[in-house]
Structure 1
Amino acid sequence: MDDQNKNLILATALSFVVILVWFVLFPPPEATAPTEEASISAVENNIALAPSTPDAQAAAATQAEASADDESPRIAIETARLTGSVSLKGGRIDDLSLKDYRVSLDDDAEIVKVLSPVGTPSAYYALYGWAPGAGLALEDVPGANTEWTLEEGTELSVDTPITLSWTNSKNMIFRRTLAVDENYMFSVTQSVENGSDTTASMAPYGILARHGIGEDADLPDLKNFFILHEGVVNVTDGTLTETDYDDVRDFEVNPNEGAQAEVYQVQKDGWIGFTDHFWMTTLIPEAGQSFKAAAKYDNRRKIYQTETVLPTMTVAPGATAEVSTQLFAGAKEWETIRNYEKNGVIDFLNSIDWGWFFFLTKPIFWLLHNINQLIGNMGWSIIGLTLIIKAALFPLAYKSYVSMAKMKELQPQMEALKAAAGDDRQKMQQGMMELYKKEKVNPAAGCLPILLQIPIFFSLYKVIFVTIELRQAPFFGPFQDLSAPDPTSIMNFFGLMPWGGPEAGTLMATIFIGILPLLLGISMYLQQKLNPAPTDPTQQMIFAWMPWVFMFMLGSFASGLVVYWIANNTITFTQQYLIMRSQGYKPDIFGNIKSGFKRKSKADEK
């Protein structure tokens, strides 16, 4: 077997190994369907953990049980963007859906549900109350199962708040007023009027409880993808902390409560909650308010919990105490969250997972968002963003392409050096260095734009993957979700037929790729034809296969990212072609890869 055939087999084997390794390292995220056994477990063990209190005696009190809602009365929540209800049992906000978002692109798809009551699979709810201090027992304060009375209002809407009330056996009147804005922010005002003849101490708290599914307490609808944070997110006096769900399960056990817990002391500003891919719930005390935040996990009942506990309040007989907090429950829309941050929620934009390259992902998304505001189509906005990025990098690209053109011109001399040196690699390297020095060529100059593209590409991938603005964002024709892989395939005649292609993320989808990956492979091939070929035959073969390997590797990526790469390759090819022509070289795109261009003759120039 000659060396050329050996190299071909080696390159082919390496290509398939790369594809298989990629498929193993980046498997498609799969939602875990709740089992019947897990659902029953969630209903039977529907207990939320008791809040941590500043008072040691109160901290040792029994847990506040959040039992199933059954037939308790409910008060409707209805705004332009939200629909749901508040249960009078516990006064819980436990039924909330988002009118603007659907679970899929199907015409009959349901709207996205954020919160669910106890008694349903994967219960997820917010509840508020008072932790008893000196002079009070647990039954003297409202808890998770207190039966509240509607005192004011009939429906919770933007213009109509509601007030709930409950009176204990000591003639202490507790009230809770709930209000909601035009987006996703609830205001919760808790008050107590001490009608007893003794002074009472208590600490107001807020709790977000999320029931897990299965033996390992996995939650449904999680992507479980390494570049995406899903779990607890909180800000403590300017410090952002992100804790994945599996890390919450590893917290040290709190001896007073029999549960894993991590406690944060907040001096002035902060918030805590749960974040998923596109949705979030967050407890937000008033700006400047000190409080204690905690993240917990109850291994017995498979319940995750975040909480905020405000300082203990002492209420004299005849006096009234009041405290206000906020609850965010909705979609992680950049503009909406930014407005909340401008209105006093410190560092709220950091609730979006910008990643390690936040110094790139934030401005890239800002630019993409504003371009989309002008164009109104996210696909064309990605292409416009690519044009701007390429324009910003053009000075470096110009030097790089000029260097590549000179390198391409030197290829015949480099081949001659290789033939003269034979197997003496040191002699060949010395000869090449002398040639570069003589012709004033920097072989590394062509690498800089490529190196700069790597963090930009990763940052854009992060933006496309984590931001809700790309979710179900249409481009044209069959491309109706730029955050999803290309839906076209030879199996549906590239989108011409009404049926779908292979399921995204499967091996079939990796093999039977769509239009966008094909265009990506072609654009990479054409761009590669302008670059100087390596002198080593094996390297030549590997580089020749790279466009087609990447075509399959990136076929399962978000189509918005593939659109960016196609646009980037096309613009790069155009720039490089024109610059090489301006330097006196006439690229031969479809010629032999070793002589891909030729110097213009004087006759050509005329």
Structure 2
Amino acid sequence: MNQTRAFLILAWLMVATLLWMEWGNEKSAPPAPIAAAVAPASSVPTAAPSVAAGVPGAPNTAAVPSTPAASTVSTAGAAAGEPLVVVTTDVLKVNLRGGELSEADLLKYPKTSEPNSPPMRLLASDSTLYFVAQSGWVSQGNAAPTHESGFRYAGEQRNLALAAGANELAVPFVWTGPNGVSIQRTYTFRRGDYAVRVRDEVINASPSPWQGYVYRQLSRVPRELAHKGPFSPEQYSFQGAAWYSPTDKYEKRKFEDFSDDGKLDKQVNGGWIAMLQHHFFAAWIPGAKDAGQFSLEELSAGGAPQYLIRDMGPGVNVAPGARAVTEARLWVGPKLVKAIEAQDVAGLDRAVDFSSYSIFATLANGLFWLLEKMHNLFGNWGWAIVGLVVLLKLVLYPLSAAQYKSAAKMRKFQPRVAQLKERYGDDKQKFQMALMELYKKEKINPVGGCLPLLPQMIIFMTLYWMLAESVELRHAPWFGWIQDLTARDPFFVLPLINIAIMWATQKLTPMTGMDPAQAKMMQFMPLIFGVILAFLPAGLVLYQVANGGLGLLQQWLTTKRYAEAPASKE
């Protein structure tokens, strides 16, 4: 296989892969969001996890807690009779109501790239955008506060803001039971932090032991995509539930597969649960050694689907006059790699879901690490992409040098190849034998152009997933007309430049041994790629333009060196 045929095959493979991704996305489109008039369903757990048996301080699991059955609540959120508490920090603005975070705005992230755009709302009580974080307690034979009722605000001001110079803000709630048991809940917000600390302290002032389980859950309806169309990155970003356990590691499930893929009933120690979407996510992170049970539930809100992931546990057994404490973190924010790593939680970095395949996810993490280093150097994500191209070109230089050297030598001997064609006519077998003999005599490697193309294709596809998922590049400008590297080029300038580069590269690439049909097909490749790139993120097209431009320069220099004077015909 010569260099041109290798490029043709791999180019068509890339096109076919992108088209297959688009076709698969059409088939697995997320369920439509519920109608605006439909009230979200709410679920309260009715059973305790068997995992709690044997856990120090945990109640006897022979006593299964009993709580009210799941009920439909108004779109105003849980504990409808409890007034809202609004908390504002430098990065978050949230609505608290009892045991539920019913709204959360991400103040550093505008909803769109338009001027004066409102902040991105991740959690919402509105029925069409319904996405809430809830936490409560269940107990067998004893009263306990659920996320729907029980917790009451223990402060005075209901509009709280992180004071200038302060690093954290504590928001207290309390539940007082009829038998002398109380639970003090404190939400702690920290400056610059998207992880909310949630601390529950059970105080037993009754004459009898109190047993109970804390539960934490995320509930939502599927969100409607903001950007649709061919090859839209948002369409390929995972939407659904994810969880991590020390034994089975990272797992996830799309909304449409909640029921089809079977029941989730996973006993864990530590781990985390989450709801993921493009660029953002919410996650409950219990204590590293807390015993719990992960489960999924598909609810019906007026006939439309609503999805829930829950962590039940840990359990506590509080003697009279004693206290017990359980803590967790609630992440509500963007998929910022550094901020997530700073949480020091095993597997939480997988929430940045670069790919469903671990090998591509690992490669994407490596590419992002390099891209981040380039950004630290240049201070601009666009120039960081160009810097990444230069770095990758240096790494792949031995392979690309062999590719261009082979192409240059083949170009030099094109007159000899044309002579062989004339000599053997339609006898393809003799022509191929003579061609191989020429290659052997002149020390030309006919497959020298194949090897570099495979890593380039893998890098291209990995970079697509990485750029599509990286919130760091969301609305990030390059310069001039490119004001969002994760959106397509608004004026298609970069795709047109790429067409020109591919056309020029093609002119330097010999068509040795290629039949007329293949050669004609090759002529259309720059246009085909140009059309596809017109729908892809500008950052990815910038990578392709920089990569192709440097490749063209390298190929031209190599051609000048090895093919200055064409070989004469014999």
**TM-score by shorter chain over 0.5:** yes
Aligned pair partner of 1:75 in 57, 60, 85: 85
After alignment, is 97-106 or 418-427 more displaced? 418-427
* Matched residue, 2:190: 181
Alignment partner, residue 138 of structure 2? 131
Secondary structure in structure 2 of the residue aligned to 1:556: coil
The equivalent position to 2:41 in structure 1, one of 43, 46, 59, is 46
Which structure is richer in relative contact order (CA contacts within 8 A, separation 6 or more)?
Answer: 2
- Identity across aligned pairs (percent)? 29
Tell me the amino acid that sits aligned with residue 250 of structure 1. D
In structure 2, the gaps of 5 or more residues are: 1-11, 50-60, 229-233
Contact kept, 8 Å, 1:66 with 1:145, in 2: the verdict is: no
Instruction: Work out which of the residue numbers 548, 552, 564 in structure 2 matches 1:573.
Output: 552
Q: Read off the aligned partner of 1:167 and give its amino acid letter.
A: T
| Secondary structure in 2 matching 1:527 | helix
For 1:452 and 1:18, the matched residues in 2 are separated by: 17
The 5 Å alignment of 1:157-556 reads 157=162, 158-182=167-191, 183-210=193-220, 212=221, 218-221=222-225, 227-237=236-246, 239-252=249-262, 261-267=263-269, 269-299=270-300, 302-341=305-344, 345-355=345-355, 356=357, 357-488=360-491, 514-535=492-513, 536-556=515-535
Q: What do residues 398-443 of structure 1 show as CA deviations (whole Å, max 9, x unaligned)? A: 1221111111122222222222222222222212122211222110
Q: What amino acid is aligned across from residue 384 of structure 1 in structure 2? A: G
Alpha-carbon contact 2:413-2:566 (below 8 Å) kept: no
Change (3 A) 1:335 1:21: closer
Counterpart CA distance in 2 for 1:51 and 1:382 is 51
Residues 78-109 of structure 1 deviation map (CA, whole Å, 9 limit, x = unaligned)? 1111112211xx33111110011111111132
SS of residue in 1 equivalent to 2:401? helix
Cα distance in 2 for residues equivalent to 1:230 and 1:294: 17
Matched, 1:85 2:95: yes
Please give the alpha-carbon distance, in whole angstroms, between the structure 2 residues aligned to 1:27 and 1:91: 36
Which amino acid letter does the alignment assign opposite residue 182 of structure 2? I
Q: Which amino acid in the other structure matches residue 296 of structure 1?
A: E
Instruction: State the Cα distance separating 1:554 from its structure 2 match.
Output: 1.5
Secondary structure, counterpart of 2:197 in structure 1 = strand
Matched, 1:113 2:108: no
- 8 A contact 1:291–1:311 mirrored in 2: yes
Q: 1:223 to 1:242 in 2, by over 3 A?
A: farther
Distance 1:179 1:66 in 2: 29
Amino acid across the alignment from 1:529:
K
Distance 1:432 1:186, change over 3 A: same
Question: CA offsets per residue over residues 480-533 of structure 1, 9 Å max, x none?
Answer: 111111101xxxxxxxxxxxxxxxxxxxxxxxxx21111000011111211111
After TM superposition, the structure 1 = structure 2 runs for residues 85-104 of structure 1, keeping only pairs within 5 Å, are: 85-87=95-97, 90-104=98-112
Secondary structure of 2:264's partner? strand
Q: Quote the Cα distance in structure 2 between the aligned partners of 1:298 and 1:31.
A: 16
Q: 1:324 to 1:66 in 2, by over 3 A?
A: farther
The whole-number CA distance in structure 2 between the counterparts of 1:308 and 1:181 is: 24
Offset of 1:465 from its aligned partner? Answer: 0.7
Q: Deviations over 1:114-171 (max 9, x none)?
A: 1113x543321112111113x42xxx10012224332247436452202111212112
* 1:317 match: secondary structure: coil
Structure 1 regions of 5+ residues with no counterpart?
Answer: 1-13, 213-217, 253-260, 489-513, 587-596, 601-606
Closer, same or farther: CA 194–515 of 1 in aligned 2, 3 Å:
same
Q: Distance in 1 between matches of 2:512 and 2:383?
A: 36
Corresponding residue number in structure 1 for 2:23: 25
Over aligned residue pairs, what C-alpha RMSD do you find? 2.7
Secondary structure (helix, strand or coil) at the match of 1:524 reads helix
How many angstroms apart in 2 are the aligned matches of 1:544 and 1:450?
A: 18
| Deviation digits for residues 526-571 of structure 1 (CA, Å, limit 9, x no counterpart) | 1121111143111111112211121112111111111111111110
Which residue identity is paired with 1:219? R
Contact 2:415–2:566 (8 Å) recurs in 1: no
Amino acid at match of 2:366: P
Cα distance in 2, alignment partners of residues 543 and 233 from structure 1: 43
Q: Distance in 2 between matches of 1:34 and 1:244?
A: 15
Please state whether the residue corresponding to 2:382 is helix, strand or coil: helix
Report the counterpart of residue 255 of structure 1 in structure 2: none
State the distance in 2 between where 1:286 and 1:21 align.
44
The secondary structure found in structure 2 opposite 1:58 is coil
Contact 1:51 1:309 (8 Å CA) reproduced:
no
Q: Distance in 2 between matches of 1:147 and 1:330?
A: 27
| Structure 1 equivalent of residue 5 of structure 2 | none
* C-alpha separation in 2, matches of 1:329 and 1:335: 15
Equivalent residue letter for 2:519: Q
The match for 1:561 is 540
Which digits, 9 at most, give the CA deviation of each residue in 1:180-214, with x for residues without a partner?
2222001111122122222221111111111x2xx
Report the Cα offset of residue 576 of structure 1: 1.4
Native 8 Å contact 1:100 1:111 kept in 2: yes
- Aligned equivalents of 2:161, 2:69: Cα separation in 1: 29
Give the match's secondary structure for 2:293. Answer: strand
CA deviation after TM superposition for structure 1 residue 271, in Å: 0.6
Partners of 1:31 and 1:191 lie apart in 2 by: 40
